[in-house]
Amino acid sequence: MKKLIIKQRKWGRGIITDKIKEKSLELIGYEITQKELRLLPYIDYLLKNSKGLDRRRITDEEITIINSWESMGFIIIGLKIKCKKNFYDFMQEILWMGYVEK
């Protein structure tokens, strides 16, 4: 039986990097923060499962971020959260870079 070798990454998952900041500047016009990066998986989950925000699961700081995304026209908050295609594409790219890419 072969032994599974797991490579350790220099940076952990969900850590903001210069590469992520540069990509977010390119795609949405500003550099995202660590808090925004960590909020993206939750927003992605809500979008893919047609769910609304659960205020018990998010902090005041995260509500401020979500409100700013809404005021920038990236997302729409109602009974279910919705987003613009360009913001969805941005999220997938950033999630790939921050959580999946080796």
Q: What CA–CA distance (Å, rounded) separates 102 from 96?
A: 9
Which of 57, 53, 99, 101 has its CA nearest to residue 79?
53
Q: Which residues of the chain have pLDDT under 70?
A: 1-11
**Neighbouring C-beta atoms of residue 56, cutoff 10 Å:** 5
Note whether 87 and 69 are within 8 A (CB): yes
The pLDDT, as a whole number, for residue 17 is 95
The pLDDT, as a whole number, for residue 3 is 64
User: Structure pTM?
Assistant: 0.84
Residue showing tokens 């987003």: 83
Residues whose CB falls within 8 Å of the CB of residue 45, separated by 6 or more in sequence, listed in order = 51
- How many CA atoms lie less than 13 Å away from 94 in the CB half-sphere? 33
